[in-house]
């Protein structure tokens, strides 16, 4: 039997539909509606860089333009509808998923204890009880509230004092729970105080967790290799995902299909049997041009983005400026089912201006008057999120495709 094949346009449509990028951005952006968006995505990655807006804010704004950062804060701190932990990086995750992080916390407990003990963090384990007792007596605290008398370094991730390391370990392994942030500073409380006991005690076993991770990842990706399923939540190993795929395929729960890449090559992937009738295949994405975060779920997997969209991207934050191809923090531009360019821009809040330093259209993209008007309309929307009211373009801002 010939495997079902998605051509490249169909694959893009399915993928964008799964990621909430097919429809014109609209709708309420708080409470249940905002939680629905985050649940659809699975999680929202956190990032501290704020050249225009933080990653999690831009991810949500690009789907719901009425969104403002206080809406996420309320959902997280007031409603406790989200919790903070790790996928491939720090993220906001629906609290309904908390039980499935039991395996991650269990594996982090073993992995980080060994890793951090060998990472010149002598003495952090001896601080566990002291930190727990302090929080139990005084309530939620941040890293600056613990470790009195301990030597402080530069404060970077590589230079934590022992009690800061203990805080992070106790959070990652489950004894502590992040209950709020001030600025970008985490505040930790005892998990037993922060969460409903039914949420804490409802932990599935390893097999159930692997099944949940693979099913939920496939729902959100539309189609995937076993490696992509494992990487989505970053809880389970590729070997565990491969075993799940093999067993699910044999049982007829999933099918193997072919996906056409932007360069014409074809790649095998797994999908639900219902994919050939998926309405997303024929759903024409909105033509509205929008700015995406570099950490948007649709582009976070760089290799997948390159295969589907022909879009090569890398973060150049840690690249010395003379060696950067584009810029410090460059935003992709999505239009329809294509990434049409990338823009280097920054909100100068003291001057009340969003300054566009440079824009590079992708190859074979013509930057005419219509596209420029659509770009400026999107910048006007971005200004509201960034907290500025005007736009300025540097001289020579429009570049030719590289």
- CATH classification of the domain holding 325: 3.40.630
d(CA 104, CA 161): 24
- Going by the DSSP 8-state scheme, the letter that residue 126 receives in this structure is G
The answer to whether position 274 is within a domain reads no
In the predicted model, what is the mean pLDDT of residues 268-293?
96
The answer to whether position 223 is within a domain reads no
Q: Among 30-44, 112-126, 217-231, whose mean pLDDT is lowest? A: 112-126
- Which of 146, 171, 194 represents a domain boundary (last residue)? 194
Tell me how far CA of residue 343 lies from CA of 321, 334, 401, in angstroms.
16, 11, 12
**Any idea what the CATH number is for the domain that residue 179 is in?**
1.10.10
Give residue-wise pLDDT tens across range 312-341: 999 999 999 999 999 999 999 999 999 999
In the predicted model, what is the mean pLDDT of residues 78-89?
96
Domain that residue 182 falls in: 120-194
The answer to whether position 388 is within a domain reads yes
Side-chain half-sphere CA neighbours of 379 within 13 A: 21
Give residue-wise pLDDT tens across range 131-161: 999 999 999 999 889 977 666 555 555 568 8
- Which of 171, 194, 217 represents a domain boundary (last residue)? 194
Q: What is the pTM of this model?
A: 0.94
pLDDT bracket for residue 275 (50, 70, 90): very high
Q: Are 339 and 333 in contact (CB under 8 A)?
A: yes
How many structural domains comprise the chain?
2
- Which of 152, 171, 194 represents a domain boundary (last residue)? 194
The sign of the dihedral angle between the CA atoms of 73, 75, 76, 78 is: positive
The answer to whether position 65 is within a domain reads no
In the predicted model, what is the mean pLDDT of residues 275-297?
96
The answer to whether position 300 is within a domain reads yes
The answer to whether position 312 is within a domain reads yes
The pLDDT of residue 115: 82
Planar angle of CA 102, 107, 113, nearest 5 degrees = 125
Q: Among 17-26, 50-59, 113-122, 354-363, whose mean pLDDT is lowest? A: 113-122
The pLDDT of residue 163: 87
The answer to whether position 177 is within a domain reads yes
> Which residues are paired to 341 by β-bridges?
333, 361
The pLDDT of residue 113: 86
Give residue-wise pLDDT tens across range 215-243: 999 999 999 999 999 999 999 999 999 99
The answer to whether position 249 is within a domain reads no
């Amino acid at each position: 039997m010939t495997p079902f094949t998605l051509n490249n346009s169909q694959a893009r449509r399915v993928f964008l539909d799964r990621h909430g990028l097919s429809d014109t951005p609209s709708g309420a952006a708080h409470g249940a509606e905002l939680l629905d968006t985050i649940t659809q995505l699975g999680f929202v990655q956190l990032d501290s860089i704020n050249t225009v807006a933080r990653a999690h804010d831009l991810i949500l704004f690009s789907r719901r333009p009425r969104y403002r950062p206080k809406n996420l804060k309320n959902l997280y701190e007031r409603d406790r509808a989200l919790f903070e932990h790790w996928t491939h990086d720090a993220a906001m995750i629906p609290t309904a998923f908390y039980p499935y992080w039991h395996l991650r916390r269990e594996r982090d407990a073993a992995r980080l204890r060994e890793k951090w003990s060998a990472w010149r963090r002598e003495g952090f384990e001896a601080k566990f009880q002291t930190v727990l007792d302090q929080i139990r007596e005084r309530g939620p605290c941040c890293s600056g509230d613990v470790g009195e008398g301990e030597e402080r370094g530069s404060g970077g991730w590589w230079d934590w004092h022992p009690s800061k390391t203990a805080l992070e370990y106790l959070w990652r392994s489950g004894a502590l729970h992040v209950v709020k942030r001030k600025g970008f500073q985490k505040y930790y409380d005892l998990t037993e105080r922060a969460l409903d006991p039914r949420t804490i005690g409802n932990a599935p076993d390893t097999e159930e967790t692997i099944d949940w991770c693979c099913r939920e990842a496939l729902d959100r990706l539309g189609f995937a290799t076993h490696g992509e399923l494992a990487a989505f939540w970053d809880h389970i190993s590729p070997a565990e995902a491969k075993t799940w795929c093999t067993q699910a395929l044999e049982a007829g729960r999933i099918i193997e299909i072919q996906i056409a890449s932007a360069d014409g090559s074809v790649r095998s992937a797994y999908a639900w049997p219902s994919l050939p009738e998926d309405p997303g295949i024929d759903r024409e994405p909105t033509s509205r041009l929008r700015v995406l975060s570099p950490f948007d779920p649709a582009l976070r997997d760089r290799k997948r983005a390159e295969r589907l969209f022909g879009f090569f991207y890398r973060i150049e934050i840690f690249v010395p400026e003379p060696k950067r191809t584009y810029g410090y923090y460059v935003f992709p531009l999505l239009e329809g089912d294509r990434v049409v360019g990338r823009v280097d821009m920054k909100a100068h809040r003291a001057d009340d201006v969003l300054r566009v330093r440079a824009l590079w259209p992708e190859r074979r993209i013509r930057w005419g008057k219509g596209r420029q008007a659509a770009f400026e309309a999107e910048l006007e929307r971005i200004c509201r999120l960034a907290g500025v009211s005007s736009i300025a373009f540097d001289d020579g801002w429009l570049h030719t495709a590289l």
